[in-house]
Structure 1
Amino acid sequence: MTATLIILALTVVMFIIGKIRADIVALCALTALILLGILTPEEALAGFSSTVIIMMVGLFVVGGAILQTGLAKAVSQKIMKLAAGSDTRMFLLVVIVTSAIGAFVSNTGTVALMMPIVVSMAVQSGTQPARLLMPLAFASSMGGMLTLIGTPPNLVIQDALTAAGYEPLGFFSFFPVGVICIVTGIVVMLPLSKKFLYKKKGSGKHNSGRGKTLDDLVSEYNLSNALRRYRIKQHSAIAGKSVAELDLPGRYGLSILEIRNESSDRSGLIRNVTQSLASPESILTAGDIIYLTGDTAKMSQFASENRMEELDNNSIDFYDIGISEIVLMPTARIIGMPLRKSGFRERYSINVLGIKRNNDYIMNDLPQVKLQSGDVLLVQGKWSNIAQLDDDETDWVVLGQPEKQASQVTLDYKAPVAAIIMLLMIAAMVFEFIPIAPVTAVMAAALLMVITGCFRNVEAAYKTINWESIMLIAAMMPMSVALEKTGTSALISHSLVSSLGSMGPTVLLAGIYFTTSLLTMFISNTATAVLMAPIAMTSATEIGVSPYPFLFAVTLGASMCFASPFSTPPNALVMHAGEYTFSDYIKVGLPLQIIIGIVMVFALPLLFPM
């Protein structure tokens, strides 16, 4: 017992100091428990096969797909319209919407669903994500108190009551308790998040040094005017011909940069988009959309002669094919060559859309332009090919980070697919008549997101998983086994409750809440509820009062644990994205946890008379 408490104390101290990554600290504590023989290797590694951990991995992927397809941005824009530019209103909407979802979906699933939406909202409004993500995590737990199925501890106390012969709780018996928690949470979190959750260190990290966005490049080079999009109609003279046969450079002075084909199902909701750079061998077919560059009059002439429909150029979508800038070095072998001899198309399958020379932009007759040292070339190609240009650093330097830019491009035509998969996952988790376990629903949803193309590739899906949070929770879960195995948790709970029993029911109620809260910081909330429910039941029976408020104190203490990043999966899920430290949870979560406890100690006897 002593060794377990020492390891636990050292772990908490290291979390608070924050000099070593939280996942490394947790793994060190886990290793120490194995080496000292407190846990067997099987017990220590059980956390890594836990359904909670598997669900977290799957939910990271689902959340990543929601972000990648632009679904998060679309939903966040609707919420932002309701917020009408007010930070306070946006904060309230995030808490209320999250709480409402959390009443029916697990708090882990709620956070995974809402996190990409909230991050998107923060970026669009210029607010730091840290300002909203911790309240998001806490709101998901508070929302779980609205219904019987909102959080597992609610079901634990229901079982304890029915087993003892008491009237079972109804589905919405928890609703008044949940409303009080949410109102208290808003009142406490609103000022605390403003004071403590604006990150000084690394603030602006998402904006500073980020390079130009794709929209910046489109605007700077005036691509909307330099490019024209045309759809090849049925019976067009060019349908069935290759790009080489058309000889557009020779006949019209034009170039085909990209060939795109779009198709959709009968409903028009689900679309597929394929893109390819135009090579001499590329065959054009009816329905293809071609991107032309050159003289606008010549483009119009070519289009009218060959039955092509001009499409709007209000926006240029980048999916598999993107754009970036490279700057030529003085030692580049292609200096002095005309662009047509540079080999960009032949060696890298890259198009050059424009050249920036000093303050001038060269957009016409590019093949004849002789390249000079310091020229900045706007290039177009598959993201992987643009990234490969970095390998030839002696000739040029790629500006910005193509791979990062590629990850930020939304596959918006897949948003309906992502929405359908997400809704099916939620339905499987909410409705008991669907014979699918929540973890299975999450795994299936994550796989479907990858298989249906909601990610650019499988690697993009893996990159959405925050392994630091996964390792932190998986390594800390066995700590609860160590505390129970050594009798530490039982000793703490029994001694605290027994010492308070003689001081009256209100003091005992407070003791049960805060004891449960304390244990939940180190043991899973479900395990803590299982441990404390019979103690609360026995204590209420011994002093001759109703057990209902005492059991509610157990579920509240188990669910309203906000002072630690590893006390609940939602707290861990937002830690990395919000760039939080352990002390951030202490500053905001601990006061909230204490205040909710004080409020509920007086509210519970009013809602459930003793």
Structure 2
Amino acid sequence: MPITPDILLVLAVLFLVVLFFVFEWVRVDMVGIMVMVCLPLLGLVTPQQAISGLSSNAVVSIIAVIILGAGLDKTGVMNKLAMLILKFAGKDEKKITSIVAATVAVISGFMQNIGAAALFMPAARRISTQTGVPASHILLPMGFCAIIGGTLTLVGSSPLILLNDLLTVRGVSYEHFGMFSMTPIGILLVISALIYFIVFGKWILPHCKVGEKRGLLSPLLAKTYHEVGEIYEMSIPEHGFHEQCLSELQIRSDYACSVLASYNPTTHKRNVAPRPEDTLCPGDTIAVIGEAIFINRLAADFGWKISPEVTVFADDLAPSNSGMMEGIVSPRSQLVGMTVQEAKLRKKYGVVPLAVFVGHEMIISDLSELTINEGTALLLHGKWSAFHQLKDQNDFVFTEPLQGESVREDKAFWALGCLAVTMFMILVLDIQLSISLLFGAMAMILGRVLSLDEAYRSVDWMTVFLLAGLIPLGLAFENTGAAKMIADMLMNAVGVPSPTVLLVCIGLLTSFFTLFTSNVGATVLLVPLSMNLALSCGADPRVAAMTVALAASNTFILPTHQVNALIMRPAGLKAVDYLRAGTGMTILFMIILVGGMRLFF
């Protein structure tokens, strides 16, 4: 096939896109917009094709699934999932990464990988916040395993879904593959990816000096309230202590500490921000904040045991659920003139007053009789949902933006129901992915899990425009004949290869195409070519076709795959990060794929 001016143009555009990705001259979404505009101006695609990416099944699916994930996060479902993962993995980075990545990989085997990644992303980000593990160290392995998970079943990815429809060559239809025909190879690929990140993660993941874990106080407030201390978990023994209310124990006045929460293992009652009249019983576990010297004295005097870390209240007191804020009493506050005890901040708002700053003096130990005046600064601890309610009362002006958001736990079952119906539509009714996901997103909004404005804000438009711009680039490759020319050149170059060399060539060619074109387009183009070449070499054409469908998931070295684009901003990744981690993953994928095809087929 002759090289035409259009082919040279589209190759030049591709070269420039890669340069923009690598050197980051402009943001990646701007690269997508530039491609969308330049291709029709160069006559490589029609204007309709240039903007077709904005309405493509992939882009619409991404928008819808992000809204679904935001709804699940808004109701606290993803936080529960995050805590479940932390229960098994603790704070070990390798365990966290492996559990999250493996779980997403398995889910990707039965639903589109972009959906699995998007649904798990809020939980992964919460885990990052609560453990201090950098988000990139969780999201990048998760993203790669989401892509690889599509190789586990016949419905795991679009190329595999299409595969059986393409098994006809030279007028002969070949036997169709079963649901789990490729599962052994898929399992090997997932396991190899997990091992790859466990062994080489230290070198291939982005270097981060610190994680995203927030301290109890921001650096600004820590200078003022440095004497507040840390949160400790303490257990009250079954014997040697009789039931008493908090006011009788005088923990604040005697030890400059505050009780933030209590838990009774018998009644399973969990009390966050307990009131002075609430009681502590033998066997209870409590969370207390204070300086270490006073915490140790408190434990010694009462015979309580200090736990090495917060476990019982890990969810309640996690930075994603609660924290500390400084509130300045406003001139219109109904609290002006009241004492701290009369204000009943624990009972009315569910927040615990920890310290008061008046003039240049900070008071911690005895707050109950302190009079609240206009301009008094109070350091408060509570759940973010409580702070949002308190903000609406106009009693306080907070000195920093609230770190959390109100959680609509009462909508959790509705959100899970929306997800379940969406999955039923996709897997059982076989309704198109984008329509099914849009239905779920619509149900979230109509069910008041999210407001329409919140749904719009949840969408990462950088991802949307990046993918919308790359889709017409794939169309330009097909329109100009560049894709077919490259495929023909490679096939002519290899001549009559051995079966192993044939599979390597097919895998490399497919991997190259899926970096810049849609995996569906690459599959439709390369399956007939590879099957014809296999027949010419005396090899099994079904094996060649399967190799194409599986290799279409070998796309890691650029943020062009939907999943890679999705995690790019939340993980704080750059194009070079994909190149560093993806190069080894691409090579490993090829080795496992070719070896697995030779072993099982």
TM-score normalised by L of structure 1 = 0.72
Q: Determine the structure 1 residue equivalent to 2:490.
A: 496
1:531 and 2:500 correspond: no
Flag the 1:379–1:562 CA change in 2: closer, same or farther, 3 A: closer
3-state SS of paired residue (2:203):
helix
The question of whether the paired residues in 2 share the 8 Å contact of 1:211 and 1:399 is answered with no
Which residue in the other structure is 2:565 paired with?
A: 572
Aligned mates of 1:190, 1:379 — CA distance in 2: 38
Residues 546-596 of structure 1: CA distance to partner in whole angstroms, max 9, x if unpaired? 112211221122112111111x21111111111111111111112111221
Q: Secondary structure at the match of 1:576?
A: helix
Asked if structure 2 preserves the Cα contact closer than 8 Å seen for 1:34 and 1:40, the reply is: yes
> C-alpha distance in 2, partners of 1:70/1:108?
21
Aligned residues of 2:129 and 2:319 also touching (Cα < 8 A): no
- Matched residue of 1:104: which SS? coil
Tell me which residue corresponds to 2:590: 597
In structure 1, the partner of 2:534 is: 540
C-alpha distance in 2, partners of 1:384/1:85? 32
Shift of 1:88: 2.5
Cα pair distance change 1:415/1:548, threshold 3 Å = same
Q: Is the 8 A contact 1:59 1:442 kept in 2?
A: yes
- Counterparts of 1:225-244 in structure 2, within 5 Å, are none
**Aligned-pair identity (%):** 26
Distance 1:322-1:101 versus aligned 2 partners, 3 A rule: closer
- Please say if 1:149 is aligned against 2:155: yes
Structure 1 position 81, deviation (Å): 2.0
Please identify, of 186-195 and 380-389, the stretch whose mean Cα deviation from structure 2 is larger.
380-389
**1:457-515 CA-partner distances (Å, limit 9, x unpaired):** 43322221111111101111100011111111111111012211333332222111101
Would you say 1:36 and 2:42 are equivalent positions? Answer: yes
Which residue of the other structure, out of 409, 413, 419, is the alignment partner of 2:410?
Answer: 413
- Residue 588 of structure 1 is matched in structure 2 by 581
Q: Specify which of 61, 65, 86 is matched with residue 71 of structure 2.
A: 65
Kept in 2: contact 1:560–1:593 (CA 8 A): yes
* Paired AA for residue 425 in structure 1: T
RMSD over equivalenced CA pairs, Å:
4.0
Deviation at 1:67, TM superposition (A): 1.6
Q: Which moved more, 1:42-51 or 1:540-549?
A: 540-549
Q: Whole-Å Cα distance in 1 between the matches of residues 229 and 213 of structure 2?
A: 24
Distance 2:28 2:215 in 1: 26
Query: Does the Cα contact within 8 Å between 1:131 and 1:194 map onto a contact in 2?
Result: no
Q: Distance in 1 between matches of 2:33 and 2:336?
A: 58
Task: Give the Cα–Cα distance (whole angstroms) in 2 for the partners of residues 598 and 45 of structure 1.
Answer: 38
1:212/1:400 contact within 8 Å kept? no
Q: What secondary structure does 1:577 align onto?
A: helix
- Aligned 8 A contact 2:75 2:407 in 1: yes
In structure 2, what is the equivalent of residue 134 of structure 1? 140
Identify the match of residue 440 of structure 1 among 435, 439, 442: 435
1:46-57 to 2 correspondence within 5 Å? Answer: 46-57=52-63
Is the partner of 1:502 in helix, strand or coil? coil
Structure 1 CA distance, aligned partners of 2:336 and 2:130? 42
Task: Give yes or no for the alignment of 1:454 onto 2:449.
Answer: yes
Q: Secondary structure at the match of 1:207?
A: coil
Q: Distance in 2 between matches of 1:40 and 1:49?
A: 15
Counterpart of 2:186?
178
How much has 1:37 moved relative to structure 2?
2.1
- Partner Cα distance (2:218, 2:446) in 1: 32
Distance in 2 of aligned mates of 1:175 and 1:606: 13
**Residue aligning to 2:117:** 111
Question: Who is 1:278 aligned against?
Answer: none
Give, in angstroms, the shift of residue 365 of structure 1: 6.5
Partner in structure 2 of residue 248 of structure 1: none
| One-letter code aligned to 2:181 | S
* Aligned residues of 1:501 and 1:539 also touching (Cα < 8 A): no
SS of 2:185's partner is: helix
Structure 2 counterpart of 1:416, which letter? F
Match of 1:359 in 2: 362
Q: Name the counterpart of 1:428.
A: 425
C-alpha distance in 2, partners of 1:377/1:110? Answer: 40
Aligned to 1:281: none
The yes-or-no answer on 1:193 pairing with 2:171 is: no
Other structure's SS at 1:485 match: helix
SS state of the match for residue 359, structure 1?
A: strand
How far, CA to CA, are the matches of 1:450 and 1:477 in structure 2? 29
Aligned to 1:515: 509
Aligned-partner Cα distance in 2 for 1:198–1:575: 12
Question: Does structure 2 retain, via aligned residues, the 8 Å contact 1:15–1:582?
Answer: yes
Alignment partner, residue 207 of structure 1: 214
Give the residue type in structure 1 aligned to 2:80.
A
| 1:8 partnered with 2:14 | yes
Q: Write out per-residue CA displacement over residues 368-411 of structure 1, whole angstroms, 9 at most, x where no aligned residue.
A: 64446x74476998849838979xxxxx9731103xx353x433
Residue 316 of structure 1, CA deviation:
11
Query: CA separation in 1, counterparts of 2:12 and 2:114?
Result: 30
Asked if 1 retains the 8 angstrom alpha-carbon contact of 2:64 and 2:437, the reply is yes
Partner of 1:282: none
The one-letter amino acid of 1:176's match is P
For 1:447 and 1:516, the matched residues in 2 are separated by 36
Q: CA deviation at 1:529?
A: 0.5
Asked if structure 2 preserves the Cα contact closer than 8 Å seen for 1:130 and 1:199, the reply is no
SS at 2:161 equivalent: helix
1:40–1:400 Cα change, 3 Å: same
- 1:322 is displaced (CA, Å) by 11
Distance 1:316 1:77 in 2: 12
Residue type matched to 1:422 in 2?
L
Give the alignment's TM-score, normalised by structure 2: 0.74
Specify every segment of 5 or more residues in structure 2 that has no aligned partner in the other structure, as ranges.
1-6, 231-272, 280-287, 289-312
The CA distance in 1 between the partners of 2:110 and 2:220, in whole Å, is 39
Q: CA deviation at 1:413?
A: 3.0
SS, match of residue 596 in structure 2? helix
